[in-house]
């Protein structure tokens, strides 16, 4: 079993296991218009918006008002909040017993909050295999 990370735009594969969106919203870059490529039940099976960065930070990043590292630092702090940390711990525990793929729009996990989330999960489950696809 493993925790995978992947772009939500990558075609769903059986080996993805449970596909979980960790996006704050499923919209185009305007933050309003639903992205027609993202379809509940097809591109993702679960949605955990509480494990996403704040919509304000995401918007600021896309409008180039904050840098990627600022977004990731703010997100890392968010994951350490007690209520959110319990959700991260639950996700990590699930990933040791079933394959889970966490999803966001970015192609590269190094340039996306899902890489931070995966590493935070590993803090709760040190032997958790994390694979960035």
Q: What is the pLDDT of residues 64-104, one digit of tens each?
A: 999 999 999 999 999 999 999 999 999 999 999 999 999 99
Q: Is residue 56 pLDDT above 90, yes or no?
A: yes
Which helix (H) or strand (E) covers residue 7, if one does? strand 3-7
Number of other residues whose CB lies within 10 A of the CB of residue 107: 12
Provide the angle, in degrees to the nearest 10, between the axes of the packed helices 68-79 and 55-62: 170
Q: Flag whether the pTM goes above 0.75.
A: yes
């Amino acid at each position: 079993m493993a925790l995978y990370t992947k772009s939500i735009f990558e075609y769903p594969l059986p080996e993805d296991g449970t596909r979980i969106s960790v996006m704050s919203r499923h919209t185009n870059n305007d933050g309003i218009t639903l992205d027609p490529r993202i379809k509940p039940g097809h591109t993702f099976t679960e949605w955990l918006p509480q494990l996403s960065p704040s919509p304000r930070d995401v918007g600021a990043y896309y409008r180039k008002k904050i840098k990627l590292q600022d977004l990731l630092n703010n997100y890392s702090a968010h994951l350490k909040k007690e209520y959110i940390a319990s959700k991260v711990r639950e996700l990590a525990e699930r990933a040791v017993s079933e394959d889970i793929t966490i999803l966001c729009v970015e192609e590269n996990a190094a340039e996306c909050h899902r890489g931070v989330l995966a590493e935070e999960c590993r803090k709760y489950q040190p032997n958790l295999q994390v694979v960035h696809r």
